[in-house]
Amino acid sequence: MNRILRTGLAVALAAVGSGGPVAAKPPSVAVAITPTTVSSSPSIARLVGQKLVVRMEGTTPSADLLGRIQRGEVGGVILFGANITTATALRALTARLQGAATAGNRPRLLIAVDQEGGSVKRIPWIPPTLSPPQMGQLGSTTIARSQGSATGLALHDLGIDVDFAPVADVPSSTASFMYRAGRTWSFSASRTAWLSNAFAQGLAQRSVVPTLKHFPGIGYATLNTDTYVVKIWASRAQLSPGLAPYRLAVTNGLPLIMLSNATYPAYDPVHAAGWSPAIVGTLLRHDLGFRGVTITDSLDGTAHARGVTSRGLAAAAARAGTDMILTTGSESATRVMYDYLVQQATAGAIPITALQASYARILAMKAGL
């Protein structure tokens, strides 16, 4: 990790370990995350390429995907169960993916999985050995942090540097689809905040980027936001407790937050969180003070549910200032998305300043690895 982030996390870890609130000033990550830190003016193609986190098909990366990584058209790859066989094969796979970025003299590739524990665990033979509900019942930040650390150590050994975990959603009732799926920690916002952040810090201790999700919270959702159009009609006062994990994450200097695919009329009656300027810019960055990297949830399922294209949602997310775009469609579809975003940016439909700001934040996060 870079010195600033490492120092900030050390302070936060000490405070969480003591069981008390984190009172330390947040690490000044934003000092290192401004467009002025980019040594040269990157092309639009490079700016767009760093935004995309794409799915890989099969257990061996295709020549086309490796070429895209080498040319800088991809900033990260998400792995699913279908890509994973054995530890030896997975190490070889991640080495080939990372090697393509190195061969092209590109920034480090982010290689990610969903390793939450319990019902969402892409690599079955590694930690966490406890599910979020089990850790929630125990209520120990020490155990949650230890589970995160063990998970991070195992992921790092396999060449994976991003965990799309922990879930930070606070279920409003047993009707919550996240609760029913066994993915939440507790009905208590404060317990969820402390435990999810402890798990995240354990990951960060092992140089694996944690990802709190799904901002600003989908605890009120009764249907899966990946496959249904979900509007959460709760008021700002009702939604406020669900922000607690993110407020603590900002204090702790954690680097990555995933935005939800739900729409929140209390904040923005039109746009879902992943492409809402009011949520990305005003709520998360201005009101909460987040200075790290934002990423959409996968856009493909929600695009299908909405009857729109994922590339259109990706462009809307880029315009809103969301830094990274997670797309889990076919490799051919993600190529089309890349080309479309380059065209939109070249035509001025995506502000170059937004792309540059995102690029700087992404590179600063990667430098922390």
Q: Where are the domains of the chain?
A: 3-19+27-367
pLDDT score recorded for residue 296: 99
* pLDDT beneath 50, residues of the chain: 1-39
Question: What pLDDT digit, counting tens, does each position of 316-333 carry?
Answer: 999 999 999 999 999 999
Q: How far apart are CA 84 and CA 211, in angstroms?
A: 21
DSSP string, 234-253: --HHHHGGGGHHHHHHHHHT
User: In this structure, what DSSP letter does residue 281 have?
Assistant: I
pLDDT at 43: 97
Q: In percent, how much of the chain has pLDDT > 70?
A: 89
With both helix axes pointing from N to C terminus, report the angle between 331-346 and 63-70 in degrees, rounded to the nearest 10: 30
Model pTM score: 0.90
At 41 the pLDDT is 85
CA-to-CA dists, residue 358 to 9, 46, 239, 297, 368, angstroms:
22, 12, 27, 16, 16
Residue whose C-alpha is closest to residue 219's, from 270, 179, 260, 191: 179
Angstrom distance (rounded) from CA 341 to CA 265? 27
CA 8/CA 365 separation, integer angstroms: 14
The tokens for 350 are 């995506």
The residues, any chain, with a CB within 8 Å of residue 92's CB and separated by 6 or more, are: none
SS3 212: strand
Q: Across the chain, what does the average pLDDT equal?
A: 91
Q: How far apart are CA 145 and CA 143, in angstroms?
A: 5
Q: Is 270 helix (H, G, I), strand (E, B) or coil?
A: strand
Q: Tokens for 274, please give them.
A: 């992943």
Q: What pLDDT, in 10s, does the model give residues 164-175?
A: 999 999 999 999
| Cα dihedral 231/233/238/243 (nearest 10) | 20
Residue whose tokens read 């990802």: 211
CATH number of 3-19+27-367: 3.20.20.300
DSSP string, 99-111: HHHHHTTPPPPEE
